[in-house]
Amino acid sequence: MKGGIASARRESEDLRSILRAVYQKGGGRGLHIRGEERTGWFIVRRQMSEDSGSAGDMSLLCLGILASGSGTNLQAIIDSVERGDVPARVGVVVSDTAGAQALERAKRHDIPHFHVDPEAFSSKESYEAALLSILGREGVELVVLAGYLRLVGKGLLTAYPGRILNIHPSLLPAFPGLGAVGQAIGYGVKVTGVTVHIVDEGLDTGPVILQEAVEVREGDTEETLLERLHIVEHRLYPEAIRLIAENRLVLEGRRVSILPPGERVKTNPGSATPTAARN
């Protein structure tokens, strides 16, 4: 993982100096930058309240959350972490969307948060190099997509092999891509559901970690069905993160096995499986 981040940084000396300037200005973790840093590359925002200076428990699995929108899944993860249900910490939240509610949620919980504007980059590679610099700087070990409306590219996948999660509102492989809830209603299925999976280069094609069915009721609209799907999502996503934080997942081919409570995979250095996420 480190090698991936290092090489992404090497590719972009300019970007590195921009980030160095941003961090130095604020003094590193717990820095206080208000407003907006506009550079030739991208717009970065980072806001923390005056009394937030704690780096948190560094022994916990460090999550980096990418979100484009309302961030209800982000909120569920933050709440689970704060309750102590999941041995992890949210190290940083990054959004590709200015004004995303997800950034507001991060701010409310004093979590470092950035808006990185993809339009300010000439390529997906340079955009993802910016993301990697932020994730690497915050010590992120597991990337969690929470309503992140972009296909993850090679840069992120190489730097975080098997360490990027996504949640999707259908029982994959049914109804991948955007509008999964509408697709399910339109098709007339009686059961749909939620999938948490490892991200690969495809669109919602990676190995499945957890799935749960949700009944489609007579008269359901996208809104009513989504409401029930969200209830499941907000339970399932923290649960999947907990399994990874506890080293209880084993990936063979595209099959993910879950070890019983109390058991854990020991060390698996160099493995591209989520079991290596903490090693």
Judged by the rule CB under 6 A, the positions of this chain that interact with ligand GRF are 67, 69-73, 146-147, 167-169, 233
**How near is the Cβ of 142 to ligand GRF at its closest, in Å?**
17
Q: Which helix (H) or strand (E) holds 13?
A: helix 13-26
Given the structure tokens 């933050």, which residue do they identify? 78
CA distances in angstroms from 35 to 105, 114, 115, listed in the order given: 17, 11, 11
Q: Is 163 helix (H, G, I), strand (E, B) or coil?
A: coil
Q: Rounded to the nearest 10 degrees, how much is the dihedral formed by the CA atoms of 161, 163, 167, 173?
A: 40
- Catalytic residue, candidates 168, 197, 230, 234: 168
Report residue 150 as tokens: 């972009």
CB of 152 to ligand GRF, least distance (A): 12
Q: Which is nearer to ligand GRF, 69 or 182 (CB)?
A: 69
Contacts of 219 (CB under 8 A, 6+ apart): none
List phi, psi (to 5°) of 154: -60, -35
- Nearest-approach distance from CB 97 to ligand GRF, in angstroms: 10
Q: 233 or 246: whose CB is closer to ligand GRF?
A: 233
Between 67 and 116, name the residue whose CB sits nearer to ligand GRF: 67
Phi, psi of 208 (to 5 degrees): -85, 130
Q: Can 115 be counted among the known catalytic residues?
A: no
Q: What is the DSSP string of 221-250?
A: -HHHHHHHHHHHHHHHHHHHHHHHHTT-EE
Residue 16 or 109: the one with the smaller Cβ distance to ligand GRF is 109
Least Å distance, CB 167 to ligand GRF, is 4
CB atoms within 10 A of CB 190: 10
Which tokens is 41 given? 């590359």
Query: Which residues neighbour 163 within 8 Å (Cβ) at sequence distance 6 or greater?
Result: 1, 141, 142, 143, 274, 276, 277
Q: State the minimum distance, in angstroms, from the CB of residue 83 to ligand GRF.
A: 18
Whichever of 64 and 71 has its CB closer to ligand GRF, that residue is: 71
**Mind telling me the catalytic residues?**
168
